[in-house]
Every structure is written in C-alpha cells, then in structure tokens.
C-alpha cells in the first residue's frame, strides 16, 4: 500500500482483529499499519458517488462504496464488521510506546511473532511443506521478553507492550531464572557484542489462566526463543537450546521435529498433538520454522475445535446480538466466585495470603482477575448466543464491585 494512492478522497480499510473485521479510515489505519500483516486486510474501500455500477453496500451506511481491493479468503470476508472512527486506544498505545522507544535509541524492542492456527496462516499451511517444524508444548503463562537498553538497564516487555505491567515484572524478578537471563544478556553483549532479546513464558505459582496445567508450587521463567536486535533475526532452535543449556535455563520442550510434504500430512498430526496435550495437561502445541533468520510460527490449542470448512464458515457468518448488561453482570459474578475460591486456595498455601487480605484486593489485581473475567464473559456469550463484548477491560474497570455482589443469583444457584 502506498500513501500517495490515498491522498485525495475518502478511503477505508477493513482488517481482521481477533474474530471480526475492524473498519478504519485510512488516515487512522496508517497509525497502526506497521503491525497489521497484509494477509489480514480484507477490503480497501472508497466513497464513490459517480459510478453506481461499481459499488457495493457495506456497514458504513453511506450511499455508495467502491471496493478497490478484496481478499480471496472467503472465511476472512465472512467475519462481522465493526466500524470505528479511530484506532483502539490499547493498539495505539502499543505503537506510540514503541515509537517513543525508537526515538530514545536506534536499537528497539521487537514484538514477538504472532502465532496463528495453521489454517489461519497466510498460505493456509502450504508454507510449511518441505520445512523443518519444531513442535513445542504450549505453556500456560505470560509471554514476557527480557532485554537491555543502550545503557545496560534491564527492560521487561510483555507480548504487546514495550513496558510490561509492574505487577508482572515483580513476579518475574522473583523467579530464579531472571538473574541468570540478565547475566546471559550482559555476557553476550560485553564479550561478543550481541544484543539479544530473550522471549519466555512466565509460568506463575498456583493455577494458570486456562487452569489446564496442574498447580505449580513455584513460579518459573521458561525460555522459548532469542532474537538478535542488531541484525533483526531469530536464533535457530539449536542455538537457543545451547544458550539455555549453558546457562542452566529451562526451555520449552520439543515434542518432535516434523516435516510435512503434502497437505494431507498436517491434519492427522494436529489431532495427534492435541491428544498428547490433553494427556499431559497442556493447552496445546506451538510449531516453529526457522529460516534465514525469520520465524514462521503457528499454534494449535485443545480448546479450539476442528470444524469442517462449511461449519466454520456458518459459525463465522452468524451475527449475534450484543450481550445485555444483566448477562455481563452474571459473568462478573461467576468470575468473582472463582476468584473467591482462588483466594481461599492462596490463603491455605500461606505464601500469598498477605497480598490479598480482602476480595477487593484480589479483584483489583488484573493479572489474576482479567483472564478469569474474560473466560466467564466468553462462556456466557456462547451459552446464551450473544456477541462477546470487545471492551472487557473497560467493563472490568468501570463496574463497581457493589453491583457485582448485589446482583441477584440465578435460580438454582446457591447464594
């Protein structure tokens, strides 16, 4: 896409964001274009009041819209469209923070490659044919990266944000691996001139967000990739394993090395991986291809069903009504109950009891509360055929605790 093409007239971009298409004015889209892969762009639209024959009606509600570009992916085109006039604040914050860091120094943090299901890859899995795929277990934790700024100051980033939440950073710093990773980064820089970013999964003590894995007695940081920010390349798996082994850092386990030679080889392997994940209490697997410094990755999770093409298109074409406030409060109430049970578990353990003296304290810890709230809101939406709200974090922040506690229980539940 060239900016020069869109200088005159009114243009709109529709791109995939999770399970829907977001439509933005092109001036807004340019603010985030660098983080939106081209295969996620579904349509490029233009107001056209001259040529009625070349127009199509869209959710814009304007009289005439000309489709300049349309993806050939029918599943992508079938997704519901949400029309926005400006970029979502969280997305914009991510880009602005990364840009601000770029002004601070010439070497910047690199966001970890986003993982899709194999069927959601740009070439629908064909790009895996003939390639060596490292299949790793998918751990239930928080994706955090550790790196050094130009003055040697340690920096912790999350999957989406340059600056990770302070509460997450404090938990990471308490792991036995944090000091080892810093020592590794400093040694590589001072001895060999390497500027690395270490990516890993912070597996927290207790139960994880999906509650698939068994309860963990301690928190650990488990390495899964390393990125060279001087030449903008990912280290091959063999090198990642060597560094982790030499510094006695845990690394995400490789289940097998798999090379598909035809598309028919892939589906049986996905089923096999999911069976393994269920048996070993993992939320799924991650596959990676390292080629010329680039990383092509995918994920397959046990909570995502393998729908046939027709069923998948039918589900994604369905447009459900927005979830009413009563159902949202019901979901928040279920999340409150689960957090209450979690608080009791922590109190029995004794180690974290002082952190959450009251229910309001554990509710305010978004790292604990948000995954549980999102889970229950999603469950409520599926069970009652409503569209899942996009502003779950705003709901969490703006719903008074008293409203949740006072909301009447459903019939048949125990107060």
Mean pLDDT over 224-233 rounds to 94
Predicted confidence band of residue 414 (pLDDT cuts 50, 70, 90): very low
pLDDT tens-digit profile of 150-191?
Answer: 889 999 998 877 888 888 899 999 999 999 999 999 999 999
Rg over CA atoms, the chain: 23
Mean pLDDT over 283-295 rounds to 94
Mean pLDDT over 183-202 rounds to 96
Q: pTM for the full model?
A: 0.56
End-to-end CA distance of the chain: 57
Is residue 370 classed as helix, strand or coil in its secondary structure? helix
Predicted confidence band of residue 195 (pLDDT cuts 50, 70, 90): very high
- Of 226, 255, 250, the residue nearest 238 (C-alpha): 226
Cross-sheet strand order for the sheet of 133-137: 254-258, 133-137, 284-291, 294-301
Exposure string of 149-174, with b = 16+ CB inside 10 Å and e = fewer, is: eeeeebbbbbebbbebeeebbebbee
**In the CATH hierarchy, which fold is given to the domain comprising 92-308?**
D-amino Acid Aminotransferase; Chain A, domain 1 (3.30.470)
> Residue 358 class from Cβ within 10 Å (0-12 exposed, 13-18 middle, 19+ buried)?
exposed
The tokens for 170 are: 């404090």
The phi, psi pair for 350, rounded to 5°, reads 90, -30
Residues of the chain with pLDDT > 90, as a percent, come to 35
Residues of the chain with pLDDT > 70, as a percent, come to 82
pLDDT tens-digit profile of 38-79?
Answer: 778 889 888 765 654 444 444 444 457 788 888 887 878 888
Predicted confidence band of residue 261 (pLDDT cuts 50, 70, 90): very high
| Most confident segment among 131-135, 339-343, 363-367, 391-395 | 131-135
Residue 3's pLDDT is what? 55
Task: Evaluate whether 229 touches 261 at the Cβ level (below 8 Å).
Answer: no
Q: Is a pLDDT exceeding 60 seen at residue 364?
A: yes
Residue 304's pLDDT is what? 55
Ranges in the chain annotated CATH 3.30.470.30: 92-308
């Amino acid at each position: 896409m060239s900016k020069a093409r869109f200088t005159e007239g009114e243009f709109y971009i529709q791109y995939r964001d999770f399970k829907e298409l977001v439509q933005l004015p092109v001036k807004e889209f340019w603010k985030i274009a660098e983080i939106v892969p081209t295969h996620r762009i579904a349509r490029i639209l233009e107001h056209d009041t001259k040529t009625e024959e070349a127009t199509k009606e869209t959710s814009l509600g304007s009289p005439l819209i000309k489709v300049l570009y349309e993806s050939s992916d029918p599943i992508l085109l079938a997704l519901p469209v949400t029309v926005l006039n400006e970029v979502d604040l969280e997305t914009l914050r991510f880009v602005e923070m990364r840009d601000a860091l770029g002004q601070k120094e010439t070497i910047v943090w690199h966001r970890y490659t986003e993982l899709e299901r194999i069927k959601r890859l740009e070439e629908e899995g064909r790009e895996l044919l003939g390639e060596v795929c490292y299949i790793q277990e998918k751990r239930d934790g928080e994706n955090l990266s550790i790196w050094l700024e130009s003055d040697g100051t340690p920096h912790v980033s999350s999957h989406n944000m340059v600056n990770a939440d302070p509460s997450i950073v404090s938990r990471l710093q308490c792991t036995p691996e944090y000091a080892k990773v810093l020592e590794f980064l400093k040694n590589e820089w001072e001895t060999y001139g390497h500027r690395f970013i270490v990516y890993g999964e912070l597996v927290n003590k207790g139960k994880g967000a999906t509650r698939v894995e068994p309860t963990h007695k301690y928190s650990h940081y488990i390495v899964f990739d390393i990125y060279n920010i001087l030449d903008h390349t990912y280290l091959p798996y063999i090198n990642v394993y060597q560094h982790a082994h030499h510094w006695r850092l845990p690394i995400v386990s490789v289940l097998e090395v798999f090379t598909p030679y035809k598309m028919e080889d892939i589906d049986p392997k996905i089923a096999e991986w999911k069976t393994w994940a269920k048996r070993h209490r993992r939320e799924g697997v991650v596959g990676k291809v390292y080629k010329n410094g680039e990383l092509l990755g995918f994920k397959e999770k046990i909570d995502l069903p393998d729908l046939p093409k027709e069923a998948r298109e039918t589900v994604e074409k369905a447009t459900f009504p927005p979830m009413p406030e009563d159902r949202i409060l019901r979901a928040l109430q279920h999340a409150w109950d689960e957090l209450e049970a979690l608080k009791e578990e922590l109190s029995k353990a004794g180690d974290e009891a002082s952190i959450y003296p009251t229910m309001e304290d554990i509710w305010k810890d978004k790292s604990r509360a948000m995954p549980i709230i999102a889970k229950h809101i999603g469950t409520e939406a599926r069970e009652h055929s409503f569209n899942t709200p996009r502003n779950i974090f705003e709901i969490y922040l703006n719903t008074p605790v008293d409203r949740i506690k006072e909301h009447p229980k459903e019939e048949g539940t125990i107060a």
